[in-house]
Amino acid sequence: MKTRWVRYGALGLAAALVIAAVLQIAGLIPRFGTSTIDRSQPAVLQAVRDLSQYHAAAGDYQVVVDIEHDVSWVPSVIAGERTLFVAAGSVDAYIDFGHFAENNMIVSQDRKSVEIWLPNAQLAKPNLNHERSYVYSQERGLLDKLSALVAEPQQQQQFYVTAEQKIAEAAHKSGLPDRAKENTKSMLTGMLQALGFTVTFKDGPVKPA
């Protein structure tokens, strides 16, 4: 008899846990409390690199990523997901002087003028602001809610990757590289004019060898 009651009690407890889990997934009861402990080790310096880039312009961007995963012939309450992710970040445009050859800057014989073939500006990888990037809204079917319990980090990653791509596209369309090149021209002109040179910029990224 005692064994039977123990068995009934175990089955009842298991049923209660299953019901609680389902209600939690459905959002009908709050999630169980958790705590986070950071046991990470301090960062270790592995390498130092000298930079030859002049960062001449920067743009701040915001994008709303709208991604929907639809399952054919299955109601959205069962399977499927749609997420609105707001991302904010910045992009630097720079001139790389690392491959600036000697023949890209020609000084006249009288040392009064200089001709410069300036490389085209490049865009650095977008730098997302994690404090200003967040999931605005998310709708999930029951199966997706269950899978999110173990796959959440990967799903979050796709939003950041897509946001970086869209911000990079926006930086190209906004003319940020052209502005960086013009700013670099102004910087070089001011510096060389202070040394007594008249500055002329030639078309093309590099002067033919």
Q: 72 and 116 share a domain?
A: yes
Q: 100 and 57 share a domain?
A: yes
How high does pLDDT run on average in the chain? 76
Contact 134, 85 (CB under 8 A): yes
Domain range for 22: 1-29
pLDDT at 7 over 90: no
Section 24-38 average pLDDT: 57
Contact 93, 55 (CB under 8 A): yes
Q: 150 and 193 share a domain?
A: yes
Tokens of 184: 């670099």
Contact 52, 96 (CB under 8 A): yes
Q: 139 and 69 share a domain?
A: yes
Contacts of 36 (CB under 8 A, 6+ apart): none
Q: Is residue 117 a part of any domain in this protein? A: yes
At residue 6 the predicted structure's pLDDT band, cuts being 50, 70 and 90, is very low
Q: Is residue 166 a part of any domain in this protein? A: yes
Q: 16 and 117 share a domain?
A: no
pLDDT tens for 118-167 read 888 999 999 999 899 988 887 765 555 556 655 554 567 888 999 999 99
pLDDT tens for 173-201 read 999 999 999 999 999 999 999 989 999 99
Q: 155 and 190 share a domain?
A: yes
Give 73 or 198, the one with higher predicted confidence.
Answer: 198
Domain count, the chain: 2
Q: 76 and 121 share a domain?
A: yes
Half-sphere exposure of 116 (CA within 13 A, CB side): 20
